A and B are shown apart, each in its own frame.
Chain A
């Protein structure tokens, strides 16, 4: 994919978010925000914002980065800023 630095992209559809989150020991709270299963704490994006399951678009290494699918987040991701 383009000039990205990651080695491989794996694409999933939105119905797979629970499956993917479960793998990373995450789930969602009643308000739809992604949380750590163990602590129930809401996880933060690299920009320091809480993120809902609906907003989630990309999971990337760097410990674990959960990134929203809005234009600015994806722009920053593509520029290596996240």
Chain B
């Protein structure tokens, strides 16, 4: 029996029988309009139950319905702020992303690196669809640390499919050298964020230029997302060009996504 049909004391059976497939939302914050215990929104296919205004008898019947539905119907209870995200995760099935994940599946990558990559591919997909990504990025950093942050940055910039898969296919040994440089030393790419000053960006470019030459890299990439970071990168590249003596070229610019990638040739 569906959850809604277990709520006879709150929603009459004659109404509940027409609400099959509706989403049930338990509102513990507001009281129902005009003292109502529930509200049906046909356009959203949603039933809101206002728990705050329920009599203790009805609240008890709600508790019983929750426990019965949980044990007998395999129902899942989801906090509202995570509901849409979880829904998108259930639906997320990108062929390109799946190919990348299958390619790098453990034992090629360590389990935690692979999990960070999987989360990062989803984050990238969210970014492409203009969903907010800040909290997702924070989750990756909290769970996987700075290494997860680097994996996420490299993933968003397309390094896994554009650089690492071809490299692994041509020479696995060279791939691992590159992977360690990218992950452990973080010198193959610089991801400029809002907290970095122009001078900090300059210092980071200098460090990568010196290390890159030491390890035989041919180029490094500077990445920025957002108008502020793009402007910062352009200013910095011009400011330090004569001091550090490099040449550069724009390799990618997307004015809709507000993304820039500049290649600095060593």
Known: A3-B91, A75-B119, A78-B92. A14 touches B80 (CB 8 A): yes
A57 to B135 alpha-carbon distance, docked (Å): 15
Is B24 within 8 A of A10, CB to CB? yes
A9 to B123 alpha-carbon distance, docked (Å): 24
Is A7 within 8 A of B143, CB to CB? no
Known: A11-B23, A20-B66. A57 touches B143 (CB 8 A): no
Is A11 within 8 A of B78, CB to CB? yes
| Beta-carbon nearest neighbor of B116 in chain A | A72
Chain A 16-38, CB within 8 Å of chain B: the 1/0 string? 11011011100000000000000
| Beta-carbon nearest neighbor of A77 in chain B | B86
The count of residues in chain A whose C-beta lies closer than 8 Å to any C-beta of chain B is 36
Q: Is B73 an interface residue (CB 8 A)?
A: yes
Contact of B23 among A9, A24, A69, A75 (CB under 8 A): A9
Q: Is B69 an interface residue (CB 8 A)?
A: yes
Known: A70-B142, A72-B139. A13 touches B90 (CB 8 A): no
Nearest Cβ distance between residue A52 and chain B, in whole angstroms?
Answer: 13
Number of A-B contacts (CB under 8 A): 140
Nearest Cβ distance between residue A79 and chain B, in whole angstroms?
Answer: 8
Chain B 84-128, CB within 8 Å of chain A: the 1/0 string? 011101111100000000000000000000010011001100000
Contact of B77 among A10, A69, A71 (CB under 8 A): A10
Q: Is B3 an interface residue (CB 8 A)?
A: yes
Chain A 64-82 interface residues, beta-carbon cutoff 8 Å to B:
69-72, 74-75, 77-78
| B70 partner residues in chain A, CB cutoff 8 A | 59, 61
| B29 partner residues in chain A, CB cutoff 8 A | 13, 15
Known: A10-B24, A19-B28, A70-B142. A58 touches B76 (CB 8 A): yes
Known: A2-B87, A58-B76, A61-B71. A14 touches B81 (CB 8 A): yes
Contact of A12 among B28, B87, B136 (CB under 8 A): B28
| B89 partner residues in chain A, CB cutoff 8 A | 74-75, 77-78
Is B82 within 8 A of A57, CB to CB? yes
| Beta-carbon nearest neighbor of A5 in chain B | B74
Is A23 within 8 A of B66, CB to CB? yes
| B93 partner residues in chain A, CB cutoff 8 A | 3
Is B71 within 8 A of A23, CB to CB? no
Is A10 within 8 A of B69, CB to CB? yes
Contact of A61 among B74, B79, B142 (CB under 8 A): B74
